[in-house]
């Protein structure tokens, strides 16, 4: 590209002179930018990433990083994927955005048509939003208004005590006690919590759920299926989830599956709830939906949920929407991501990663520095022993994080839990590098 470009728009021709290339990214970042989940005063300087390819990211000096956490669990096909970039550009040249109330467009329609048959049976309608938090929040609003519209007094929401469902007020409320939320505690609505069914707590969890359900006022149970991500990659098996969902069905409460992290192949199947016999009523999707390229989210629901809103009464409509609802660029990229996800090569890669993670876990299981190892599908979590209570602010976390970064690996521990959650295109040599560094950390850090 030349340094001077002609931009022709609406008949107007402008000459734009590009700024000479500059670096000193870090100083400029620090001058103006406030990063997420970061204590800006004590945090290490951020690393300026200028390009990416496959599972690799490149900083301004050319140093390579393997993205073993899939850029906050979003990336499934690797960075700057040429097929996705092409589909994005194609859509951008055709239609970049249109208001989604009163209007529709082919990419949204095609995405809904192609996605619904891949979900657990019974999902019938798709509602668009922008991120995982809004997808869950819409699911909760659907559940509450589902009963309200029918004049049924069910208002209670149930969630796991270590759940994470997002950072908006609505989703912080259903989140567990993750210590991020203390400042906002007085502003959150009341939610009933049940024990997370980690090994040993299954019976307590089921009993607590049933006790709440028996009161007859529960609207919905919202849960992360099989893996609780931000809570520390806590895992529980499909048969427990089946029993939890069956109890909800028996007592007339809706099941909201937050598949924001688990969706699109993470657990070895396309969706975590596909490991179960029971089906959720509402499903929240984001992160892998666009392969990690653009922010977009979906909340899907059964026909029964939809029908409670379908009425001659305008007040029974779902009053929710965002400026960028149904954004065509997001839809085009999600369609491209689906093409790649369903390709045989990706499905083989997912099974390869599942096997590699299992093999590595077998190798290090029982190591004296490890409290626990666990795996669900492509996710491997290793809980390091620590004298302090396990938790997000554990300082072992910072040492591990820096140790891996120095070796060109992005592994961002949740407290003392190191997890490997890679893009599906990660190669075997790249996985070897990740495992080698973890073994080095186990030799002593």
Please give the positions annotated as active site. 37, 164, 258, 287
Nearest residue relative to ligand PLP (C-beta): 132
Of the candidate residues 69, 108, 136, 293, the single one contacting ligand PLP (CB under 6 A) = 136
Residue 104 backbone class (left: φ over 0; alpha: ψ -120 to 50; beta: rest) = beta
Which residue spans within 73-212 are E strands per DSSP? Answer: 123-129, 156-160, 192-194
Distance CA 229, CA 266 (A): 11
Paired strand residues for 110: none
- Taking the least distance from each CB to ligand PLP, the nearer of 73 and 435 is 73
- Taking the least distance from each CB to ligand PLP, the nearer of 229 and 291 is 229
Binding residues for substrate, as ranges, are 72, 164, 287, 321, 412
- Taking the least distance from each CB to ligand PLP, the nearer of 166 and 415 is 166
Of the candidate residues 137, 202, 258, 281, the single one contacting ligand PLP (CB under 6 A) = 258
Angle at 177 between CA 173 and CA 182, to 5 degrees: 75
Antiparallel, parallel or unpaired: β 409-410 and 64-67: parallel
Q: Say if residues 46 and 37 touch (Cβ distance below 8 Å).
A: no
The stretch among 80-88, 161-169, 337-345, 375-383 that binds ligand PLP (CB under 6 A) is 161-169
**Using rule CB under 6 A, residue 281 touches ligand PLP:** no
Least CB distance to ligand PLP at residue 360 (A): 23
Q: Looking only at residues 211 through 240 of this chain, which bind ligand PLP when binding is defined by CB under 6 A?
A: 224, 229
Binding residues for pyridoxal 5'-phosphate, as ranges, are 132-133, 258, 322-323
Least CB distance to ligand PLP at residue 412 (A): 13
- Taking the least distance from each CB to ligand PLP, the nearer of 168 and 201 is 168
Q: Say if residues 321 and 101 touch (Cβ distance below 8 Å).
A: yes
Q: Site size for ligand PLP, by CB under 6 A?
A: 13
Q: Say if residues 176 and 231 touch (Cβ distance below 8 Å).
A: yes
Tokens of 35: 């990063």
Least CB distance to ligand PLP at residue 258 (A): 5
Of the candidate residues 273, 286, 300, 346, the single one contacting ligand PLP (CB under 6 A) = 286
60-67: long-range contacts (C-beta < 8 A, 24 or more apart)?
Answer: 60/23, 60/25, 63/408, 64/408, 65/405, 65/408, 65/409, 65/410, 66/408, 66/409, 66/410, 66/422, 66/426, 66/430, 66/433, 66/434, 67/410, 67/422, 67/423
Of the candidate residues 91, 107, 129, 133, the single one contacting ligand PLP (CB under 6 A) = 133
The 163-202 contact track toward ligand PLP, x by CB under 6 A, reads -xxx------------------------------------
Q: Say if residues 377 and 268 touch (Cβ distance below 8 Å).
A: yes
Distance CA 226, CA 235 (A): 5
Q: What single DSSP character describes residue 273? A: G
- Taking the least distance from each CB to ligand PLP, the nearer of 52 and 229 is 229
Least CB distance to ligand PLP at residue 304 (A): 24
Binding residues, as ranges, are 72, 132-133, 164, 258, 287, 321-323, 412
User: What does the DSSP assignment read for 26-61?
Assistant: HHHHHHH---TT--TTTSPPPP-EEEEEBTEEEETT
Least CB distance to ligand PLP at residue 72 (A): 7
The stretch among 101-109, 253-261, 305-313, 373-381 that binds ligand PLP (CB under 6 A) is 253-261
Tokens of 346: 């990706």
**Cα–Cα separations (whole angstroms), residue 143 to 74, 108, 150, 443:** 26, 23, 11, 49
The 292-321 contact track toward ligand PLP, x by CB under 6 A, reads ------------------------------
Number of Cβ within 10 Å of residue 319's Cβ equals 9
Task: Work out whether the CA dihedral 75, 79, 80, 81 comes out positive or negative.
Answer: negative
Antiparallel, parallel or unpaired: β 234-235 and 227-228: antiparallel
Q: Looking only at residues 113 through 132 of this chain, which bind ligand PLP when binding is defined by CB under 6 A?
A: 131-132
- Taking the least distance from each CB to ligand PLP, the nearer of 115 and 297 is 297
- Residue 345, φ and ψ in degrees, nearest 5: -60, -45
- Taking the least distance from each CB to ligand PLP, the nearer of 229 and 430 is 229
- Taking the least distance from each CB to ligand PLP, the nearer of 181 and 309 is 181
Of the candidate residues 260, 382, 431, 434, the single one contacting ligand PLP (CB under 6 A) = 260
- The residues binding ligand PLP (CB under 6 A) are 131-133, 136, 164-166, 224, 229, 258, 260-261, 286
């Amino acid at each position: 590209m030349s340094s001077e470009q002609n931009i022709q728009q609406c008949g107007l021709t402008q000459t734009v002179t590009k700024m000479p290339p500059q670096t000193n990214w870090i100083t400029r970042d620090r001058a103006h930018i406030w990063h997420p989940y970061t204590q800006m005063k004590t945090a290490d300087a951020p690393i300026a990433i200028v390009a990416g390819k496959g599972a690799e990211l490149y900083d301004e000096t050319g140093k390579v990083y393997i993205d073993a956490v899939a850029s906050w669990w979003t990336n499934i096909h690797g960075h700057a994927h040429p097929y996705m970039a092409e589909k994005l550009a194609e859509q951008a040249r055709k239609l970049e955005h249109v208001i989604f109330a009163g209007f529709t467009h082919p990419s949204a329609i095609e995405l809904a048509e192609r996605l619904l048959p891949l979900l657990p049976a019974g999902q019938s309608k798709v509602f668009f939003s922008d991120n995982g938090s809004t997808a869950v929040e819409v699911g909760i609003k659907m559940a509450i208004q589902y009963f309200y519209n029918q004049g049924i007094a069910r208002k209670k929401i149930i969630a796991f005590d270590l759940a994470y469902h997002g950072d908006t007020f609505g989703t912080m409320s259903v989140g567990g006690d993750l210590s991020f939320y203390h400042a906002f505690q007085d502003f959150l609505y009341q939610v009933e919590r049940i024990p997370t069914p980690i090994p040993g707590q299954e019976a307590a969890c089921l009993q607590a759920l049933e006790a709440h359900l028996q009161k007859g006022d529960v609207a919905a149970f919202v849960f992360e299926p099989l893996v609780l991500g931000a809570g520390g990659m806590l895992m529980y098996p499909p048969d427990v989830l089946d029993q939890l969902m069956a109890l909800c069905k028996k007592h007339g409460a809706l099941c909201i599956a937050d598949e924001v992290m688990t969706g699109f192949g993470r657990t070895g199947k396309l969706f975590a709830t596909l490991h179960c016999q029971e089906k959720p009523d509402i499903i929240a999707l984001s992160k892998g939906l666009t392969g990690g390229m653009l922010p977009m989210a979906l909340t899907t629901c059964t026909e029964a949920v939809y029908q409670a809103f379908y009425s001659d009464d305008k007040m029974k409509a779902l009053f929710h929407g965002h400026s960028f609802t149904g954004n065509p660029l997001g839809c085009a990229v999600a369609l491209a991501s689906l093409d790649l996800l369903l390709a045989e090569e990706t499905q083989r890669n997912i099974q390869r990663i599942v096997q590699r993670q299992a093999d590595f876990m077998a190798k290090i299981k029982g190591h004296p520095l490890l409290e626990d190892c666990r795996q669900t599908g492509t996710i491997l979590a290793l809980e390091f022993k620590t004298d302090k209570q396990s938790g997000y602010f554990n300082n072992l976390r910072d040492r591990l994080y820096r140790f891996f970064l120095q070796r060109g690996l992005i592994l961002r521990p949740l407290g003392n839990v190191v997890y490997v959650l890679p893009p599906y295109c990660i190669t075997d040599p790249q996985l070897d590098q990740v495992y080698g560094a973890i073994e080095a950390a186990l030799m002593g850090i």
